[in-house]
Amino acid sequence: MNRVVYLTGLVFVLFSITGCSTRGRGAYKAHSTAPAKTYSSNPSNYSSSTGRKTYSHPTMRPYTVRGVKYYPTVVSVGDTFKGNASWYGPDFHGKLTSNGERYNMHAMTAAHKTLPMNTIVKVTNLRNGLSTVVRINDRGPFVATRIIDLSNKAAKEIDMIGTGTAPVKLEVLGFEIKGKKSIPSKQEMKKAPQTKTMGDFALQIASFSRIEGALATQEKYDQIDGYETMIQDVEAGGGRMFKVILKGFKSEKEARDYKKNSKIFEKAFIIRLNEE
């Protein structure tokens, strides 16, 4: 028996060398191999009507891994991404995923750094054209060159077990309702959140002791790149202050990226409006 376990571990180590997930090692645990839930590749099964739908999962708060901060983002049905996929298997079978589920290497699930939990994603292997559909229920892979970590079963579906990694295209098909054990019907999806943004993030672009300066700045930058300005009247220790705020960012990452790439607002402060 010990020899069998040793050989099984050796085989998985060889697969890991070829480029599988870089998560820490763990013990294999025997779990039920009952047929796992599968997902249709037809986008109409997840979208209640025509047009792009946007959804932000409630647990989309930023997190840090190995000193790198990640900002879960807002995505829409139809969004596509390209990059490299990897996979993870027996070492993680039965362990908790980032959304609290037990990882099942026989289920059609995957890990992604920033997509909302329960996003339904079509994954196409660009080497052979094979595709599969998975649900995001974990975070990773934490390697800059990879964008998704597939379950063992999903990796088999697109024939990438042997190579360990593969170039893929991701397409967002829809969003599963939290806590539901089966794919929602069109009516259920219609009642589910369709548009929810991380709109509390904003940039404080200026601060004045006189309202005239704030009004002039508000008028100058209102609707710049589609963002809206507002003035906050604040009683500070040194007296009354008028802060000019640029709002309308869908996520903290969007605000940070805009600030980073803007020569006008590079010295602005990122704030949360509901904390002011």
> How confident is the model at residue 192, as a pLDDT?
55
**Which residue in 39, 62, 35, 37 sits closest to 175, CA to CA?**
39
> How confident is the model at residue 5, as a pLDDT?
43
| Overall pTM > 0.85 | no
Q: What are the tens digits of pLDDT across the range 246-258?
A: 988 877 777 888 8
> How confident is the model at residue 156, as a pLDDT?
96
**Which residue in 270, 29, 36 sits closest to 151, CA to CA?**
36
Radius of gyration of the chain (CA): 23
Which pLDDT band, with edges at 50, 70 and 90, does 148 fall under? Answer: very high
Work out the number of other CB atoms within 10 angstroms of the CB of residue 258: 19
Domains of the chain and CATH, by start: 2-191 (2.40.40.10), 201-275 (3.30.70.1070)
DSSP β-bridge partners for residue 269? 204
Which tokens sit at 187?
């009516």
Higher pLDDT, 210 or 197: 210
> How confident is the model at residue 18, as a pLDDT?
42
| Distance in angstroms (rounded) separating the CA atoms of residues 16 and 201 | 40
> How confident is the model at residue 62, as a pLDDT?
66
Mean pLDDT to the nearest integer, 128-147: 91
Quote the DSSP letter at residue 23.
Answer: P
Q: Is the pLDDT of residue 59 over 50?
A: no
| Distance in angstroms (rounded) separating the CA atoms of residues 271 and 184 | 36
| Distance in angstroms (rounded) separating the CA atoms of residues 166 and 127 | 7
Mean pLDDT to the nearest integer, 88-97: 88
Quote the DSSP letter at residue 49.
Answer: S
Quote the DSSP letter at residue 116.
Answer: P
Q: According to DSSP H, which parts of 18-148 are helical?
A: none
Distances (CA, A) of 197 to 107, 110, 186: 29, 23, 22
Q: According to DSSP H, which parts of the chain are helical?
A: 2-17, 152-157, 186-191, 211-221, 252-261
> How confident is the model at residue 159, as a pLDDT?
97
Which tokens sit at 115?
């997509």
Question: Cα(first)–Cα(last) distance of the chain, in Å?
Answer: 62
Backbone phi, psi, residue 208, to 5°: -135, 150
